[in-house]
Amino acid sequence: MFIDQFIPKSYSQRIERGKVQHRAPSNIALVKYWGKKEEQIPENPSISFTLSESYTDTTVEFAPRTDFTTSFQIDFFFDEEPKGNFLPKIETFFTRIRNYMPFLRDYYFIVRTRNSFPHSSGIASSASGMAALAVCLMKIEKLFCPEMSEVYFYEKTSFLARLGSGSACRSVTGSVVIWGEHRDVPDSSDLYGVPMGEIHEVFDQYQDTILLIDKGQKPVSSSAGHKLMYDHPYAQARFVQARRNISLLKDILKSGDLSAFGQLVESEALSLHAMMLTSNPYYILMRPNTLAAIEQLWYYRMSTQVPVCFTLDAGANIHVLYPKAYKDEVRTYLEEHIKEYCQDGDLIYDQVYSE
């Protein structure tokens, strides 16, 4: 399946060499994407918050190609060190997108990248990493085609990022992003992420404190998890639930109803993990301290009425979400009562990205 609108007809400029760079944020899904069809088409739409402090910085230099023995000529550096074992991932990405970017075969690329969060923090870097690389490649394409419109730039970037890692397409533009077609969101698409309109101001700079419960690599990757949804007994019910949750969340994001927000977001997180618990083979990514910290958070919310809630990624770490107005008191509570559940007492203070 090729999507014609993203195949360039011709380039108006020819440029020998150059350098581009971009910082792409990570994101945390509120309604989760779990399960996909061919070519990274999601089984259900998802909505995420874009983060501010967790990001990837990438620089791409391009020059005339000198070696034609391989499909692409790429050198890759992570934290200034050559990282050969990351190359296959980038080559797979280039292979998937080469029909949309014919210039990839003609140049030698040097890619340098670094994350703001530690490599061994259990935080996935694929969303921010693939988004940063996709933006860099589109910045190069824009040099060849300066007349490109802004809308096309963002749609194609997100389209390409999706082919690198599904959730990466939500890390290209916007603070709250939907990816996946849904009848209640007219511009939504299975091919790329788009910013959600009309968000209540209570969500401006909404706080996300990431509790690093387990910094190790997770035992089952997300790609393996997506595959286990193929013949999962509850898959269809899950996709229906996610679609319904998109409709509900759209209204909640508009009204700012924080109690409804917490219920929906926590239910989504637990439903994601329920899919893992009931797949064949089954597996558990939460750790005992994940549950202990959740219980402590619930106790805190019940006894203070402070509107905190949590979400989980495909891992043991917890994202604690709360309005900016409660920043100081929640931070104090987390430091005093919840930090102890984190590996080495580590947590990351992040917040929703504001443009």
| Chain contacts with ligand PMV (rule: CB under 6 A) | 29, 32-34, 46, 126, 165-167, 222, 272, 313-314
Q: How far apart are CA 184 and CA 254, in angstroms?
A: 13
Closer CB to ligand PMV, 32 or 156, in the complex:
32
Parallel, antiparallel or unpaired: strands 73-78 and 81-82: antiparallel
For residue 198, what is the DSSP state? -
**Smaller CB separation from ligand PMV, 32 or 112:** 32
Q: Which is nearer to ligand PMV, 227 or 301 (CB)?
A: 227
Q: What's the closest the beta carbon of residue 345 comes to ligand PMV, in angstroms?
A: 25
Q: How far apart are CA 134 and CA 136, in angstroms?
A: 5
Nearest distance from C-beta of residue 28 to ligand PMV, angstroms:
7
CB of 82 to ligand PMV, least distance (A): 25
* Least distance CB 156 / ligand PMV (angstroms): 19
List all residues 6 or more positions away from 238 whose beta carbon is below 8 Å from its beta carbon: 34, 35, 44, 229, 232, 271, 275
Tell me the three state secondary structure of residue 125: coil
Least CB distance from residue 80 to ligand PMV, whole Å? 26
Nearer to ligand PMV, 126 or 207 (CB): 126
Which tokens sit at 46? Answer: 């998802």
E strand or H helix that includes residue 50? strand 46-64
The residue behind tokens 């998890």 is 225
Least separation, in Å, of the C-beta of 166 and ligand PMV? 4
The upper half-sphere exposure of residue 29, i.e. CA atoms within 13 Å in the direction of its Cβ, equals: 32
User: Kind of pairing, strands 46-64 and 18-31?
Assistant: antiparallel
CB of 337 to ligand PMV, least distance (A): 27
Tell me how far apart the alpha carbons of residues 232 and 215 are, in angstroms, rounded to a whole number.
Answer: 28
Task: Report the distance separating Cα 355 and Cα 20, nearest Å.
Answer: 21
- The 3-state DSSP class for residue 129 equals helix
Q: Which is nearer to ligand PMV, 31 or 293 (CB)?
A: 31
Q: Which is nearer to ligand PMV, 253 or 314 (CB)?
A: 314
Report the residue number, 46 or 113, with the smaller CB distance to ligand PMV. 46
